[in-house]
């Protein structure tokens, strides 16, 4: 799969590395170009802008906050203007519910898919490919899937995730 990855900070670096190890064709973009260099050495494609990352089946953003996501998505040559119809934006950034709603509406209007997929874990957990991801978006709940609770190993179905429940 062709994936554009935007944001190579502590968490994004581990996630992008795992995608490369899994054999995906990954294009990487970061404001600080030198952060992309080690991924290029591992086989990632060098790109010059966020819009270049959108020449993929999906683009993943792992950015610091609402302001950073808004500027990459809605700014000049941003994701909304560059992502092809039918392609998917996966936001793994921790952002506000309000921004997530705006992103979902803007992508739907543009004929694109949006998945809010915040991650739980630390950078070392990301590098090991063991992050806990909660994904939400149109069509993400097509059938129950079972996952293990990170603390107990107990299986959870997708209909249980997000509801308050004791985890022992």
pLDDT in tens, 126-155: 788 887 777 777 654 444 444 444 444 444
* Helix-helix angle 34-41:10-21, to 10 degrees: 20
Domain 2-137 has CATH 3.30.2420.10: no
**What pLDDT shows up at residue 160?**
42
DSSP 44: P
Question: What is the rounded CA–CA span in Å between residue 106 and residue 79?
Answer: 10
**What pLDDT shows up at residue 140?**
45
Q: Break the chain into its structural domains and give their ranges.
A: 2-137
**What pLDDT shows up at residue 137?**
76
**What pLDDT shows up at residue 14?**
92
Question: What is the rounded CA–CA span in Å between residue 6 and residue 52?
Answer: 10
Question: What is the rounded CA–CA span in Å between residue 133 and residue 148?
Answer: 11
**What pLDDT shows up at residue 162?**
43
**What pLDDT shows up at residue 6?**
98
**Which stretches of the chain drop beneath a pLDDT of 70?**
138-168
**What pLDDT shows up at residue 108?**
96
Q: What is the pLDDT of residues 56-66, one digit of tens each?
A: 999 999 999 99
* Helix-helix angle 66-74:97-109, to 10 degrees: 10
**What pLDDT shows up at residue 139?**
53
Alpha carbon of residue 126 to chain centroid:
12
**What pLDDT shows up at residue 37?**
94
| Helix extents (H) in 22-78 | 34-41, 50-53, 66-74
Burial (CB count within 10 angstroms: exposed 0-12, middle 13-18, buried 19+), residue 168: exposed
**What pLDDT shows up at residue 124?**
87
């Amino acid at each position: 799969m062709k994936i554009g990855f935007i944001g190579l900070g502590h968490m994004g670096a581990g996630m992008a590395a795992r995608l490369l190890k899994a054999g995906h064709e990954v294009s990487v973009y970061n404001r600080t170009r030198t952060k992309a260099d080690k991924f290029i050495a591992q086989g990632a494609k060098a790109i010059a802008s966020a819009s270049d990352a959108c020449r993929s089946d999906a683009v993943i953003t792992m950015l610091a906050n609402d302001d950073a996501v808004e500027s990459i998505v809605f700014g000049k040559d941003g994701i909304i203007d560059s992502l092809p119809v039918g392609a998917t934006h996966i936001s793994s950034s921790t952002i506000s519910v309000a921004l997530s709603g705006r992103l979902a509406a803007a992508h739907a209007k543009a004929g694109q898919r949006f998945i809010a997929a915040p991650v739980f874990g630390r950078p070392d957990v990301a590098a090991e490919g063991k992050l806990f991801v909660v994904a939400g978006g149109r069509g993400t709940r097509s059938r129950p899937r079972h996952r293990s609770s990170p603390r107990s190993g107990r299986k959870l179905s997708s209909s249980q995730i997000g509801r308050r429940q004791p985890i022992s």
